[in-house]
Amino acid sequence: MARHAHEFNCTNCNFFNYPMLDDKMNGNFTVICGNCTHEHHRTIVKGVVTEDRHSDKMGMAERIHVMKSASQKEKRKLGIVAQLRQMEAAGLHK
């Protein structure tokens, strides 16, 4: 079971959040910003947060609370694995 940081930006406070996700995570998740507690309703596929909203086909959502220490105003430099996983999620790398 591999865990990796995944970056997403909170649209409410404009902080960057870096939750640690498992590559076996699939389904609906409510990701809660570590800075302002704004809720993001997203689908996670193979441990990657997508831009897709909750899907009726994937069942009830689990909640992920991003730790305050994993939320910051400035963007972090991501490691190569995290960069590749995000490119794959965006359809830029297969």
What pLDDT score does 49 carry?
80
Token pair 């939320």: residue: 71
Task: Using DSSP bridges, classify how beta strands 27-32 and 8-9 pair: parallel, antiparallel or unpaired.
Answer: unpaired
Sole residue written with tokens 């730790």: 67
13 contact partners, CB below 8 Å, separation of at least 6: 33, 35, 36, 38
Q: How far is CA 37 from the centre of its chain?
A: 14
pLDDT of residue 1: 54
Amino acid 65: pLDDT:
93
Give pLDDT, residue 75.
83
The secondary structure of residue 61, as a DSSP letter, is P
Residue 58: the pLDDT is: 73
Rounded to the nearest angstrom, the gap between the alpha carbon of residue 69 and the centroid of all alpha carbons in its chain is: 15
pTM: 0.73
Low-confidence residues of the chain: pLDDT under 70: 1, 78-87, 89-94
